[in-house]
Copies of this chain bind each other. A is one copy, B any other.
Amino acid sequence: MKQIIETVPNFSEGRDEARIEEILSAFRGRDNVKLLDLHKDIDHNRMVVTAVGEPEELKRAVVDAVGIAIRIIDLRIHQGEHPRMGAIDVIPFIPIKNATMAEAVSLSKEAAREIWEKYHLPVFLYEESASESSRKNLADIRKGQFEGMPEKLKLPGWKPDFGKREMHPTAGVVAVGARMPLIAFNINLDTDDIDIAWAIARTVRHTGGGLAYCKAIGIDLRERKIAQVSMNMTDYTQTPLYQALEFVRAEAKRYGVNVIGSEVVGLVPLAAIVDSAVYYMGLENFSTDKILEAKMTE
Contact = CB atoms under 8 A, between A and B. Distances in A.
Nearest to A273: B277
A260 interface: yes
A250 to B, nearest CB: 15
A205 to B, nearest CB: 19
A94 to B, nearest CB: 10
Interface in A22-50: 34, 36
A290 interface: yes
B280 A268 contact: no
Of A52, A263, A273, most buried by chain B (CB within 10 Å of CB) is A273
A292 B280 contact: no
B296 A245 contact: no
Given A277-B276, A283-B263, A284-B261, A293 B290 contact: no
Interface in A270-298: 270, 273-274, 276-277, 280-286, 290-297
A262 B290 CA distance: 14
A263 B291 contact: no
Contacts of A268: 290-292
Interface in A131-190: 181, 188
Interface string A216-255: 0000000000000000000000000110010000000000
A273 to B, nearest CB: 5
A15 interface: no
A251 to B, nearest CB: 16
B296 A36 contact: yes
A275 to B, nearest CB: 9
A227 to B, nearest CB: 15
30 contacts: A4-B296, A34-B296, A36-B292, A36-B295, A96-B292, A181-B292, A241-B281, A259-B282, A260-B282, A261-B282, A262-B282, A262-B283, A262-B284, A263-B283, A263-B286, A264-B283, A266-B290, A267-B292, A267-B295, A269-B291, A270-B270, A270-B292, A273-B274, A273-B291, A274-B277, A276-B277, A276-B280, A280-B280, A293-B294, A297-B297
Closest 9 CB pairs of A and B: A280-B280, A277-B277, A261-B282, A267-B292, A270-B293, A261-B284, A273-B277, A263-B284, A269-B292
